Amino acid sequence: ILNVEQSPQSLHVQEGDSTNFTCSFPSSNFYALHWYRWETAKSPEALFVMTLNGDEKKKGRISATLNTKEGYSYLYIKGSQPEDSATYLCAFSTGGGNKLTFGTGTQLKVEL
C-alpha cells in the first residue's frame, strides 16, 4: 500500500513570510512526484512534476526540491501573498505513471 504524507496539515502565515511544506512518499518504484495548488471552487493547478533525484524546480516565488532516495519533497513559498492561500497537494506515481496517489494536502492561509 502506497502512503503519501504531507505536513503540516494546515498553516497560517503573515503576508511576506516564507514558508515550506513537506511531502514524504515510498522511495521504491518511483516514477514522478507532482505538486498541485487547489483553490476553492477551482481546478487543481499543476505546479511541478519532478522525476530525477536532486531535481529543483522554480515558478516565480514557489520552488520545490526532490529526494527520491529518501522519499521526500519540499515546497517553498518565498514572500507569501494572500493569493497563495490554497490547499497544496503532492502526489506520487509509480511504474508507468498511470495513476496518482495523493497526500491529504497542506492548507495554507496567508493573512494581511
Q: What's the min distance (Å) between Cβ of 15 and other proteins?
A: 27
DSSP code string of 42-78? S--EEEEEE-STT-EEEETTEEEEEETTTTEEEEEES
35 lines the binding site for other proteins (CB under 8 A) = no
- Mark the segment that binds other proteins (CB under 8 A) among 12-20, 56-64, 72-80, 90-98: 90-98
Closer Cβ to other proteins, 44 or 78, answer by number: 44
Question: What residues are paired with 20 via a beta bridge?
Answer: 76
Residue with cell 487547489: 38
Q: How many residues interact with other proteins (rule CB under 8 A)?
A: 26
Q: What are the distances in angstroms from CA 7 to CA 4, 22, 107? A: 10, 5, 10
C-alpha cell recorded at residue 43: 481546478
Q: Which of residues 47-76 bind other proteins (CB under 8 A)?
A: 49, 51
1 lines the binding site for other proteins (CB under 8 A) = no
96 lines the binding site for other proteins (CB under 8 A) = yes
CA–CA distance, 64 with 71 (Å, rounded to integer):
14
Binding site for other proteins (CB under 8 A): 4, 31-32, 34, 36, 41-46, 49, 51, 89, 91, 93, 96-105
